[in-house]
Amino acid sequence: MPRPTTRRATTAVRRAVTALGPGLPAAGCGGLQSALDPAGPRAERIAEVWWTMFWAGGGILLLVVLLALWSLVRRRPSPGFKAPPMIIGGGLLLPVLALTALLLYGYRIGALHEAPAATRLTVNVIGQRFWWRVQYPGTAVETAGELRIPAGEPVEVRLNTVDVIHSFWVPRLAGKLDLIPGRENRLWIEASEPGVFRGQCAEFCGAGHARMVLVVVAEPRARFDDWLAGQDAAAAQTVGPGLDAFQEAGCGGCHRIRGSAAAGRAGPDLTHVGGRWALTARLAPVPADTLAEWILASHWSLPADDRRGLERLNATELRTLADYLGSLR
Distances (CA, A) of 239 to 140, 206, 230, 318: 20, 37, 20, 17
Kindly state whether residue 201 participates in binding ligand CUA, applying the rule CB under 6 A.
Answer: yes
Binding mask 97-136 for ligand CUA (x = CB under 6 A): ------------------------------x--x------
Kindly state whether residue 318 participates in binding ligand CUA, applying the rule CB under 6 A.
Answer: no
- As measured in angstroms, the least distance from the Cβ of 164 to ligand CUA is 7
Long-range contact list for 315-323, CB < 8 A, 24+ apart? 317/245, 317/248, 317/249, 318/245, 318/292, 319/292, 320/241, 320/242, 320/245, 321/242, 321/245, 321/246, 321/249, 321/251, 321/292, 321/295, 322/290, 322/291, 322/292, 322/294, 322/295, 323/242, 323/291
Q: Tell which positions 129-168 bind ligand CUA, by CB under 6 A.
A: 130, 166
Give the pairing type, strands 131-135 and 142-144: antiparallel
Task: Rule CB under 6 A: choose which of 209, 221, 223, 307 binds ligand CUA.
Answer: 209
Kindly state whether residue 214 participates in binding ligand CUA, applying the rule CB under 6 A.
Answer: no
Residues that bind ligand CUA (rule: CB under 6 A) add up to a total of 9
How is residue 76 annotated by DSSP?
S
CA distance 151 to 217: 9
Cα-flanking dihedrals φ and ψ of residue 54, to 5°? -60, -50
Kindly state whether residue 322 participates in binding ligand CUA, applying the rule CB under 6 A.
Answer: no
- As measured in angstroms, the least distance from the Cβ of 166 to ligand CUA is 4
Instruction: Pick the piece of the chain touching ligand CUA (CB under 6 A) from 45-53, 204-212, 223-231, 267-275.
Output: 204-212
Kindly state whether residue 203 participates in binding ligand CUA, applying the rule CB under 6 A.
Answer: yes
Nearer to ligand CUA, 130 or 324 (CB): 130
Binding residues vs ligand CUA (CB under 6 A): 127, 130, 166, 201, 203-205, 209, 212
